[in-house]
């Protein structure tokens, strides 16, 4: 029975594993660097997004031990991005495991087996799509090439990863600062869970017992 990863998931799995092993763990700083300074170095990171229960301020690898705010923000963005990819990966895994396929792809298995069954044109289309997405969204916060400039200032984005671009915001602009931080924290936590989830599904698939977690066709 089909109980493997979707081709979309497979293409991103290396990035997901890296994020799960490094970016998530490095997104926090140890308590010893919590200071009152507001400079780029030795900044107080103890109340930054993601430093929350149960671990709180946690950086076992010491990647932000110097309190470098710019580096912390970069790692936070890396974690957010890979969390979003992992969430899509989990959904893709469940959907294809359930037997759902695009028209014309009914004979392509899900999971690792899809690597040997995808036509070359499909790979070309996927790579072209990923390239365009990366180019367009590489740094919306800074407004690359002046494409995201407007009367609001350097960029209408409020934070790295804010890709609304003045279009769909689901009432975001009406939320208070505390509500915005809470919603961002929810997304971050869901991404962390998804990184662990997709990694677990991949491991169990290779172990041959993923059907014990997900019955065939649910």
Tokens 């780029």 belong to 40
First to last CA, the chain: 11
Q: Calculate the alpha carbon distances from 87 to 32, 39, 125 in Å.
A: 33, 34, 22
3-state secondary structure of 150: strand
Q: Which two tokens stand for residue 149?
A: 């400039």
- Cβ-contact 67, 42 below 8 angstroms: yes
- Give the pLDDT band (50/70/90) at residue 216: low
Q: What is the structure's pLDDT at 132?
A: 86
| Cβ contact 161:80 at 8 Å | yes
**Range from 11-15, 62-66, 114-118, 158-162 carrying the lowest mean pLDDT:** 11-15
Of 203 and 165, which is predicted with more confidence?
203
**pLDDT tens, 55-91?**
777 777 877 778 788 888 888 888 999 999 999 999 9
At residue 91, the pLDDT reads: 94
Region 179-191: what's the mean pLDDT? 92
3-state secondary structure 57-84: CCCCCCCCCCCCHHHHHHHHHHHHHHHH
- Does the predicted TM-score (pTM) go above 0.75? no
The 10 Å Cβ neighbour count of residue 98 is: 15
- Convert the pLDDT of each residue in 6-61 to its tens digit: 444 444 444 444 444 444 444 443 333 333 344 456 666 777 787 777 777 777 78
């Amino acid at each position: 029975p089909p109980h493997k990863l979707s081709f979309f998931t497979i293409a991103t799995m290396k990035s997901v594993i890296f994020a799960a092993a490094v970016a998530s763990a490095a997104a926090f700083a140890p308590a010893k660097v919590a200071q009152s300074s507001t400079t780029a170095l030795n900044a107080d990171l103890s109340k930054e997004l993601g430093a929350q229960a149960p671990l709180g301020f946690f950086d076992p690898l010491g990647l932000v031990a110097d309190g470098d705010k710019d580096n912390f923000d970069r790692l936070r963005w890396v974690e957010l991005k890979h969390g979003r990819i992992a969430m899509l990966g989990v959904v893709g895994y469940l959907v294809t495991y359930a037997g759902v396929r695009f028209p014309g792809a009914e004979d392509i298995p899900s999971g690792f087996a899809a690597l040997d069954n995808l036509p070359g044109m499909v790979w070309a289309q996927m790579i072209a799509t990923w390239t365009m997405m990366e180019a367009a969204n590489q740094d919306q916060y800074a407004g690359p090439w002046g494409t995201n400039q407007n009367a609001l200032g350097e960029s209408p984005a409020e934070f790295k990863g804010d890709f609304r671009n003045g279009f769909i915001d689901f009432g975001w602009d009406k939320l208070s600062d505390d509500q915005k931080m809470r919603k961002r924290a929810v997304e971050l936590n869901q991404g962390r869970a998804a990184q662990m989830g997709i990694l677990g599904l991949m491991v169990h698939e290779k172990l041959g017992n993923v059907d014990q977690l997900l019955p065939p066709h649910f």
